[in-house]
Amino acid sequence: MKILIERSTVLEIIDYKSFPQPLGVGAVGMVFGKVSNGLTVNFFSELIYPFHLDADGKPSISSQFALNAIRYSATSEVLVAVQYLQGHGWFESDVEFFISGEDPFDELQARGWKSERGSSDDWGVAERVDMAFYLEDVVGELELNGNEFSKEWYYAKISHLYFSDVEVPDVAMTMGVLLAQLWWRADVGDVAERGQANSAALQKANSARKKHSKAQSEGKNKVISEYWFEARAELGNEVMRRDSNAAQAIYAIAMRKRPKQLLIKATGEVIGVEAIRKRVSALRKLEKIG
C-alpha cells in the first residue's frame, strides 16, 4: 500500500503485525514501512497504538510519524527488536525497555527484568549477561521449531548480539547485515512466520517456551561451570584463567561426557568452542567461576 504524501515523498507500509495481546504500555502491534524521497530510502519500525488504527483495524499513519520512527543508532534498532519480541510473548508485559544515556554512550536497559543475582529494579552486568543468555536460547528455540529467518529470529539474533558483544566492532557490522537482510525480505515479500493462528494458543505456547529457554540456559551454565572446575583441578589456575584455554578444556570434557545440556538437538553434536567461550566469559563476569 503506497500513500503519496508530496510530489517526491512516498510513504509505504510494508507490513503490520498485531500482537497476541497488548503490551503494558498499550501498544497493540508494530508497523514496518519505508519513506522514499527521490533516490533516498529510509526504513522504519514503530509500535502502533489503538488510535493509530482505522475502522478496518489497519494502520493509519502520517509521513511525520514515519519520519520520527526512522532509527539511526544501534541502540534504537535493538529497542525496536526487543519490543517486537515482547509483543510476541518472549518478555512479560511488565518489562519496560528504555534507552539510558546519550548517543554514542547510550545503552538499552530494562526495568522489571530480574536476573539470578539482582532485583527487578536493578540493571548491571548480571542483568545484561542474563539477558544475553536468555536471547541466545530464544534464537535456538526458534531455530528448533523451524522459524529461522522469521522476523522473530532476526530480532532475537540482533538483540542477542547487542547484549553479549556490543563492545566488539565487527558485531555492529553483523547487526547491520542482519537488519539489511530483514528489510530486504520484508520489502520483496512477507517474511515466513510459521506459528499458530490462534492468539491465545500462541501466547500459551510462548509462555511455555520462555520457561523452557530459561531452564535450558541455566542447565548449560551449570554444566559449563562444573566442567570449568573439573578442568582447573587437572590443568591448574594459570591455564584456566584465559577464556580460550578454558573453552577448549571444557569442550574436551563435553566431547567425552556428552551431557544433554550441551548437545545441539538437531544434530546431536556438542556446541562449539566459541559458544562455550562466550559463556565462560559471561560466567566469569558473574563470578560463577574464577
Distance CA 168, CA 72 (A): 19
CA atoms within 13 A on the CB side of 164: 26
CA atoms within 13 A on the CB side of 140: 23
What pLDDT does 52 receive? 92
- pLDDT, tens digit, for every residue of 273-283? 877 887 888 88
Distance CA 112, CA 182 (A): 29
What pLDDT does 197 receive? 35
* Segments in the chain below pLDDT 50: 4-7, 117-118, 166, 169, 190-206
Strand 40-48 with 29-37, pairing? antiparallel
Is the pTM of the predicted complex or chain greater than 0.85? Answer: no
What pLDDT does 37 receive? 73
Distance CA 188, CA 77 (A): 21
Distance CA 82, CA 135 (A): 10
